[in-house]
Amino acid sequence: MALLTNLPTDLLRTFIAVVELGGHSKAGAVLGRSQPAISLQIRRLEDLVRAPLLAQEGRSIHPTQAGEALLSYAREMVRINDEAVRYFHRSDMTGVLRIGLPTDYAVAFLQNSLTNFMRHHPDVDLEIYCDLSRELHQHLRSDDLDIIVATMPTARMPYMSRAWVEQPIWAAAESLALIEGRAVPLGAHLEGCDYRARMIEALDGASRRWRIVYTGPGISGLQNAVLNGLCITALTQATMLPGMRELGEDEGFPKLELLRIGLFYKHPRLSAAGLQLVSDLVASLESVGSGVKTVPNG
What average pLDDT values come out for the chain (298 residues) when binned by 10 residues? 83 94 89 92 96 90 93 91 78 81 71 82 88 92 93 85 89 90 91 89 94 90 94 90 94 92 86 86 64 41
Label the pairing between strands 259-265 and 147-151.
Answer: antiparallel
Q: What fold is seen in the domain 92-156+259-293?
A: D-Maltodextrin-Binding Protein; domain 2 (3.40.190)
Cα end-to-end distance, the chain, whole Å: 33
Domain 9-84 is of which CATH architecture? Answer: Orthogonal Bundle (1.10)
Confirm whether pTM is higher than 0.85: no
Yes or no: say if 66 and 93 are a contact pair by the CB < 8 Å rule: no
CA distance 218 to 123: 29
Backbone angles phi, psi at 148, to 5 degrees: -135, 150
CB under 8 Å to 110, separation ≥6 — which residues? Answer: 101, 149, 281, 284
CA distance 187 to 196: 8
Homologous superfamily of the 169-251 domain (CATH): Periplasmic binding protein-like II (3.40.190.10)
Alpha carbon 264 to its chain's center? 5
Which among 132, 141, 119, 91 has a CA at the least distance from the CA of 269?
141
Residue 289's pLDDT is 41
Ordered by start, the domain boundaries in the chain are 9-84, 92-156+259-293, 169-251
CA distance 136 to 149: 8
Yes or no: say if 47 and 274 are a contact pair by the CB < 8 Å rule: no
Residue 287's pLDDT is 57
Instruction: Tell me if 92-156+259-293 shares its fold with 169-251.
Output: yes
Amino acid at 292: V
